[in-house]
Homo-oligomer: A and B are copies of this chain.
Amino acid sequence: MADRYSEDELIARIFAPIAGPAGLGLKDDAALLAASAEPLVVTTDMLVAGVHFFADDPPDAVARKALRVNLSDLAAKGAAPAGFLLSIALPGEWTNEWLSAFAAGLADDARTYAAPLLGGDTASTPGPLTISITALGRTPRFVPRTGARAGDGIYVSGTTGDAALGLALRRDPALAARLSPDARDFLLDRYLLPRPRLDLAPLLREHASAAMDVSDGLAGDLAKLCRASGVSALVDLPLIPLSDAAREAIELAPGLFESAITGGDDYEILFTAAPDFSPPEGVARIGAVTAGTAPPILRDAHKKPVIFGKLSFSHF
């Protein structure tokens, strides 16, 4: 293993260049963030190879996904990133090349999203590659899950289910082969690389009564938001925005519609806002918050409630 970086080299050569000033060059035991008049938002997500991504995904994409799912949580709370910490448990077979590519993806995203590396930890593991990122952010107004009120509109950004369909294509190459190349590439890419909607944070701070990012499927995440707010909801499934690629896949395999609504990894924003809120382009009104604590009702074009087999991705 003489050709592999030592832990000190790994930190100095691979990770220190990504560090922001608060990371103190990754030479100390801890990061030091200056005091701020804005409250601090903190979130963490752990990704395990073979569970949250494919072990043979490109290393830069693995790094980007691990960071972006955390930044997505900050975005949903209306926060701007202040930085992140990375812990990584490396299985026996890691190489300098793999880690350099991982770090290149991380560095690129850290720049793009203005989220510098603040610190971290490295470990070896006899198990799969495991990545834990904690992201920190600041916001003048934290947008909670708990603020939805009866009468509010329900909104979702972007298009729903693309990542879930991308995952379905990864698992079913025969199905993937039947799609047009453009649609296939689009859906596969949406699974591989989430787009944290940090661009929506100002809008959410100003208008959202409640918000969360859609990570475990729109149907289940809406149920969570309603539970947290003590409300119910009425959603019109035809109003849920689907991409052309998703429509093409669903036309080939209609069962995929359920996957699109209940699958995970969208990393778009689900939020509620006052009835007079006028959404910008790229944000769709899909229903309304209703009184009561019954599970949300999702209805089809004929206004008939649709019951899905399971509402969302389960972690166990």
Contact = CB atoms under 8 A, between A and B. Distances in A.
Contact of A118 (B42, B76, B137): B42
A199 B132 CA distance: 29
Interface size bucket, A side?
A: 35 or more
A244 to B, nearest CB: 30
Contacts of A29: 43, 73, 76-77, 145, 212-213
Contacts of A4: 316
A35 interface: yes
A51 B124 contact: yes
B32 A41 contact: yes
Interface of A: 1, 4, 6-7, 24, 27-48, 50-52, 73-74, 76-77, 79, 85, 87-91, 118-128, 130, 132, 134, 136-137, 142, 144-146, 212-213, 228, 314-316
Contact of A45 (B76, B87, B90, B137): B87
A27 B119 contact: no
A228 B124 CA distance: 25
Give the most central of A31, A41, A76, A91: most B CB within 10 Å.
A31
B39 A85 contact: no
Given A29-B212, A44-B134, 12 more contacts: A27-B228, A32-B41, A34-B39, A35-B36, A43-B119, A44-B121, A44-B132, A48-B124, A48-B125, A90-B316, A123-B315, A127-B130
Contacts of A76: 29-30
Identify the interface centre among A42, A50, A77: most chain B CB within 10 Å of its CB.
A42
Nearest to A74: B30
A289 to B, nearest CB: 17
B77 A119 contact: no
Contact of A89 (B48, B118, B144): B48
B145 A45 contact: no
Contact of A37 (B35, B44, B119, B146): B35
Given A125-B128, A146-B27, A316-B6, A42 B33 contact: yes
B126 A127 contact: yes
